[in-house]
Amino acid sequence: MNGSAGIEAAWRDHHPYLVNLAYRMLGDVGEAEDVAQEAFLRLAGADHEHVEDVRAWLTVVAGRLSLDVLRSARVRFERPDHAGALDTAAAVGSDPADRVTLDDQVGSALLTVLTRLSPGERVAFVLHDIFRVPFGEVADTVGRPVGTCRQLARRARSKVSTAAPALGEVSGGEHRHVTDAFITACANGDVLALASVLDPSVWGVGTVLTAPALRQVNHGRHDVATNLLRYLGPGATVVCAAEPVLLAYDRRRLFAVVVLTIRNGLVLKIEATADPSARMH
């Protein structure tokens, strides 16, 4: 990677992934965007000759930054002058830093499982089980031995498996691959890349929350991809809340919820609900 051109290329290729990674740990799109921004600032100041795998390097940095945010949240809520906050936190878990916030328009249901994990469990689980980061790198991020990180992920996996709904016929790995490509294509406004993850027979159903509500249906790769980019293209931040549900934000304000149906590694159906009044102009 060389100079500003390399940073720009890395931003196009990895920024959407990094925001999504941080969002999985933090549950707050604003904090996730801040973490991604800081990770790229550190990349710009790093010795690029020693950065062999940019994506892996950014993943470790974002993981550390996210863990710092979670630990900072714990310190804030444990201060004596936040007694009221501690009482509220007790309703959802013993550790206030376990709490995951989400825009009130959707509620916390999509990320309920993550609220049951400690900061260490959450980071270990998200990095290893969701984004397939080796435990050696997870250990560097969390600052604990590899064996401890395996135990953290194992405990998190047990909690998730007893609470999370099944993904049906589609594996988690298949969801991750498709949603990652989908989100990156949207972020870059790349209609061809977006069309490439859509099934030839794809159809999209959109409900726009106007008065009265407007329902729109599109068929085929080109029409569906073109219409999606009108709403989810550059300027929007799209994250995966829980497969197969995506959330779209405009300057940290939620404006759309998108549900993907995936078959054979491609998106077969897209159901979207959007509130245009929630977008800032």
What is the predicted pLDDT for the residue at 163? Answer: 62
What is the predicted pLDDT for the residue at 177? Answer: 86
Q: Return the DSSP state at 165.
A: P
Q: Which residues pair with 215 in a beta bridge?
A: 207
**Contact indicator for 78, 86 with CB cutoff of 8 Å:** yes
Q: Return the DSSP state at 14.
A: H
What is the predicted pLDDT for the residue at 200? Answer: 96
Return d(Cα 99, Cα 114) in angstroms, integer: 8
Residue showing tokens 């949603």: 179
The set of residues, in sequence order, having a beta carbon less than 8 Å from that of 185 and lying 6+ positions away, is 191, 193, 194, 196, 197
> One digit per residue, pLDDT tens: the chain, 281 residues?
566 788 899 999 999 999 999 998 888 899 999 999 999 999 988 877 778 889 989 998 999 999 888 887 654 544 444 333 323 233 233 333 332 333 333 333 345 556 667 888 888 888 888 778 889 888 888 888 999 999 999 998 887 776 654 444 445 566 788 999 999 999 999 999 999 999 999 999 988 877 676 888 999 999 999 999 988 999 999 998 776 789 899 988 888 889 899 998 999 999 888 887 777 65
Q: What is the CA radius of gyration of the chain?
A: 19
Residue showing tokens 């714990």: 74
**Contact indicator for 183, 246 with CB cutoff of 8 Å:** yes
**Contact indicator for 261, 269 with CB cutoff of 8 Å:** yes
The set of residues, in sequence order, having a beta carbon less than 8 Å from that of 86 and lying 6+ positions away, is 77, 78, 96
Return d(Cα 100, Cα 116) in angstroms, integer: 9
Angle between helices 54-78 and 29-44 in degrees, nearest 10: 130
What is the predicted pLDDT for the residue at 83? Answer: 36
**Contact indicator for 15, 40 with CB cutoff of 8 Å:** yes
Q: Which domains does the chain have, with CATH numbers?
A: 3-74+107-164 (1.20.140.160), 171-279 (3.10.450.50)
Question: Quick one: which H or E segment has residue 224?
Answer: helix 221-232
